[in-house]
């Protein structure tokens, strides 16, 4: 089992969800995140004063998958989140080993619980 | 004179409208601070409704509107002595007059709070507005409206000098003791919820109809004129701000439009019942443009008047007071009607008020700083005033 964390542009969420559904990954946790990487920041204007905002709004996706679903999941996120504009800031995907999963209602564990 | 029912009703309604400006101001300022300081910022407006209302009845009213001398009112109305159910001021019961004027006394020190957000000790803020209301507001109110040396000389319909210049100048002056917020100019200190600020702008404008049109102290044609000018001047000011900003930075911001509206409200305040609606549009557009310039200049000079109390109320108040001396055509005449003397008097009133507000604010600030300290420590500033000064948080899961 693997634990996939993806940081994406907020405006790409619907597209990523769509792509994930196509490969039958039907579970997803989404949370608001802010941070910065190569993209650094952007300018906002408050009362005409320009302010460099270096914490950018992103979304964080958390998905636990069985091993055979890992590659389709990664490909789906890549298809959905990539802007094809060549601009930096499309995000990253992190893959972590996952020790166990427990479904609270039934007590099932491991692959069955995913 | 006999009591007129219509006048009384209008002044009572106007008084309530002016009180509504305080929650309006709380939202206006509260939206512009960070989430850790929003309750503290809103409390600055709310606590003024407590302190100054009581203070006004105990002594403030007497100092502002007692007979006294050229400088300050007497003590004959302390605890409202000498006022009873049947006392009359003009065509309204004196109680209605005291209530209406009391609302002005309440909002004026609260305006200052926009400059000190995020770093002032709450108890020091309370001490400051309590003393400031007695030492700065009451005398200047007496000068202009209460029988002092500017009464009948300077034209100040609803408080450009009494309310906005005093508060705007004092807001800038108190920064001597407070300095900047930690991280000003380096960290991204952003407004946490501009929707609150827009709602506050709406409530301020709504309340301002009572502030300006109520200042006619009658339900008459002057009230209607002041209502009209209060309608169009902020509109022109918001448009002026938006146009300049759009041209300079490429985007018309909501916060900019709201700030422009406020600048127009401030600018038309001294002129409201003295100028035509067309002149009001010019005054509004001027106030919006000049206040925009003042706010840009702040960014270049680097002082942290956090929510631009000086840039909007100080500069807007001065602009309005001087332009009243240019455009006055109803109940007074200004430069355009050949009365250059009026502009001179306006200038004199502005200059004296500025110097007086600076001097008194330095003294009050110095005394409070030496006795209880004005600024909170750095750790408390990092955590935020809501938790450190009030023990609560605005937003919870």
Tell whether B345 lies on the interface with A, counting CB pairs under 8 A: no
Write the residue in B188, B189, B295 that is nearest to A48 by C-beta.
B295
Question: Which pLDDT score is estimated for A47?
Answer: 85
Domain contains B267: yes
Q: What are phi and psi of B318, to 5 degrees?
A: -65, -45
Mean pLDDT, residues A34-51 taken together = 81
Residues B168, B174, B179, B182, CA torsion sign = negative
Residue of chain A nearest B32, judged by CA positions: A46
When pLDDT is cut at 50, 70 and 90, the band that residue B325 belongs to is very high
Residue B80 pLDDT > 90, yes or no? yes
Residue A38 pLDDT > 80, yes or no? no
Question: Which pLDDT score is estimated for B374?
Answer: 97
Six-digit token pair at A79? 């298809």
Tell whether B300 lies on the interface with A, counting CB pairs under 8 A: no
CB spacing of A49 vs B295 below 8 angstroms: yes
pLDDT tens readout for residues B122-174: 999 999 999 999 999 999 999 999 999 999 999 999 999 999 999 999 999 99
pLDDT tens readout for residues B207-231: 999 999 999 999 999 999 999 999 9
Mean pLDDT, residues A20-36 taken together = 93
Rounded to a whole number of angstroms, the distance from the CA of B255 to the nearest CA of chain A is 6
Number of domains comprising chain B = 1
Residue B358 pLDDT > 80, yes or no? yes
Question: Which pLDDT score is estimated for A30?
Answer: 96
Domain limits, chain A: 2-38+55-113
Tell whether A32 lies on the interface with B, counting CB pairs under 8 A: no
Please say whether the beta carbons of B334 and B146 come within 8 A: no
CB spacing of A51 vs B248 below 8 angstroms: no
Domain contains B141: yes
Residue B188 pLDDT > 80, yes or no? no
Mean pLDDT, residues B307-329 taken together = 98
Residue B110 pLDDT > 80, yes or no? yes
Of B18, B35, B321, nearest to B169 by C-alpha is: B321
pLDDT tens readout for residues B374-386: 999 999 999 999 9
Of B229, B261, B213, nearest to B17 by C-alpha is: B213
CB spacing of B253 vs A51 below 8 angstroms: no
When pLDDT is cut at 50, 70 and 90, the band that residue B23 belongs to is very high
| Partners of A35 in beta bridges | A56
Residue B186 pLDDT > 90, yes or no? no
Residues of A in contact with B256 (CB under 8 A): 45, 47-48
Look-up of token digits 């039907």: A26
Burial string for B44-74 (b: 16+ CB within 10 Å, else e) reads bbebbbebbbebbbebbbbbbbbebeeebbe
Residues of B in contact with A55 (CB under 8 A): 188
pTM confidence score: 0.92
Write the residue in A47, A51, A54 that is nearest to B256 by C-beta.
A47
Of A60, A48, A70, A61, nearest to A1 by C-alpha is: A70
Look-up of token digits 């906005």: B164
Mutate to test the interface with B, among A48, A53, A54, A55 (most CBs of B within 10 A): A48
Question: pLDDT > 90: what percent of chain B?
Answer: 96
Residue A51 pLDDT > 90, yes or no? no
Q: What are phi and psi of B72, to 5 degrees?
A: -150, 155
Question: Which pLDDT score is estimated for A106?
Answer: 96
Residue B16 pLDDT > 90, yes or no? yes
Q: Give the A:B interface size as CB pairs under 8 Å.
A: 37
Interface of B with A in 213-252 (CB under 8 A): 245, 248-249, 251
When pLDDT is cut at 50, 70 and 90, the band that residue B1 belongs to is confident
Six-digit token pair at B283? 């005054």
CB spacing of A51 vs B188 below 8 angstroms: yes
The CATH number for A2-38+55-113, chosen from 3.40.50.2300, 3.30.1330.60, 3.30.70.120, 3.40.50.300, is 3.30.70.120
Domain contains B220: yes
Question: Which pLDDT score is estimated for A44?
Answer: 85
CB spacing of B245 vs A45 below 8 angstroms: yes
Tell whether B16 lies on the interface with A, counting CB pairs under 8 A: no
Tell whether B352 lies on the interface with A, counting CB pairs under 8 A: no
Residue B236 pLDDT > 90, yes or no? yes
**Cβ neighbours, 10 Å, residue B162:** 30
Residues of B in contact with A41 (CB under 8 A): 188
pLDDT tens readout for residues B25-52: 999 999 999 999 999 999 999 999 999 9
When pLDDT is cut at 50, 70 and 90, the band that residue A41 belongs to is confident
ipTM: 0.73
Question: Which pLDDT score is estimated for A89?
Answer: 87
Rounded to the nearest integer, the mean pLDDT of chain B is 97
- Give the span between the Cα atoms of B67 and A93, in whole angstroms: 77
Q: What is the DSSP letter of B376?
A: P
In this structure, what CATH number is given to the domain that contains residue B110? 1.10.3430.10
Look-up of token digits 């007059």: B97
Residue B392 pLDDT > 90, yes or no? yes
CB spacing of A47 vs B259 below 8 angstroms: yes
CB spacing of B249 vs A50 below 8 angstroms: yes
Domain contains B395: no
Q: Domain residues for B320? A: 5-390
């Amino acid at each position: 089992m693997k634990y996939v964390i993806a940081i994406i542009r907020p405006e790409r969420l619907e597209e990523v969800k769509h792509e994930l559904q196509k490969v039958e990954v039907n579970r997803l946790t989404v949370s608001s995140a802010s941070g910065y990487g190569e993209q650094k920041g952007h300018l906002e204007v408050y009362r005409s004063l320009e302010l460099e905002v270096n914490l950018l709004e992103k979304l964080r996706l958390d998905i636990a998958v069985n091993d055979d679903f890992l590659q389709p999941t990664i490909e789906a996120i890549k298809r959905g989140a990539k802007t094809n504009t060549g601009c930096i800031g499309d995000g990253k995907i992190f893959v972590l080993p996952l020790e166990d999963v427990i479904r609270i209602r039934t007590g099932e564990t491991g692959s069955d619980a995913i | 004179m006999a009591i007129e029912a219509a006048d009384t009703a209008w002044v009572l309604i106007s008084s309530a409208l002016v009180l509504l400006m305080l929650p309006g101001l709380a939202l206006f300022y509260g939206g512009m601070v960070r989430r850790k300081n929003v309750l503290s910022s809103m409390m600055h407006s709310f606590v003024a409704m407590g302190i100054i209302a009581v203070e006004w009845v105990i002594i403030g009213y007497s100092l502002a509107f007692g007979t006294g001398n050229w400088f300050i009112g007497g003590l004959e109305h302390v605890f409202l002595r000498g006022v009873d159910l049947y006392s009359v001021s003009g065509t309204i019961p004196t109680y209605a007059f005291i209530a209406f004027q009391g609302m002005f006394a309440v909002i004026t020190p609260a305006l200052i709070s926009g400059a000190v957000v995020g770093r002032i000790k709450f108890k020091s803020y309370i001490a400051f507005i309590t003393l400031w209301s007695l030492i700065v507001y009451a005398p200047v109110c007496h000068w202009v409206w209460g029988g002092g040396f500017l009464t009948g000389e300077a034209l100040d319909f609803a408080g450009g000098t009494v309310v906005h210049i005093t508060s705007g100048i004092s807001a800038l002056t108190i920064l001597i003791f407070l300095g900047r917020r930690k991280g000003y100019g380096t960290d991204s200190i952003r407004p946490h919820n501009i929707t609150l600020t827009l709602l506050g702008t709406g409530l301020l404008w709504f309340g301002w109809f009572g502030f300006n049109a109520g200042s006619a102290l009658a339900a008459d044609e002057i009230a209607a004129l002041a209502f009209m000018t209060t309608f169009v001047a902020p509109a022109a000011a918001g448009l002026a701000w938006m146009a300049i900003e759009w041209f300079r930075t490429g985007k018309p911001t909501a916060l900019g439009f709201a700030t422009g509206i406020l600048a127009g409200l401030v600018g038309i305040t001294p002129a409201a019942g003295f100028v035509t609606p067309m002149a009001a549009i010019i005054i509004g557009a001027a106030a919006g443009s000049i206040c925009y310039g003042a706010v840009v200049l702040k960014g270049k000079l680097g002082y942290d008047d956090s929510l631009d109390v000086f840039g909007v109320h100080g500069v807007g108040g001065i602009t309005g007071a001087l332009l009243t001396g240019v455009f006055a055509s109803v109940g007074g005449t200004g430069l355009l009607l050949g009365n250059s003397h009026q502009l001179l008097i306006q200038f004199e009133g502005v200059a004296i008020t500025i110097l007086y507000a600076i001097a008194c604010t330095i003294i009050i600030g110095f005394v409070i700083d030496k006795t209880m300290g004005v600024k909170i420590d750095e750790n408390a500033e990092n955590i935020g005033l809501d938790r450190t000064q009030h023990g609560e948080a605005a937003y919870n899961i």
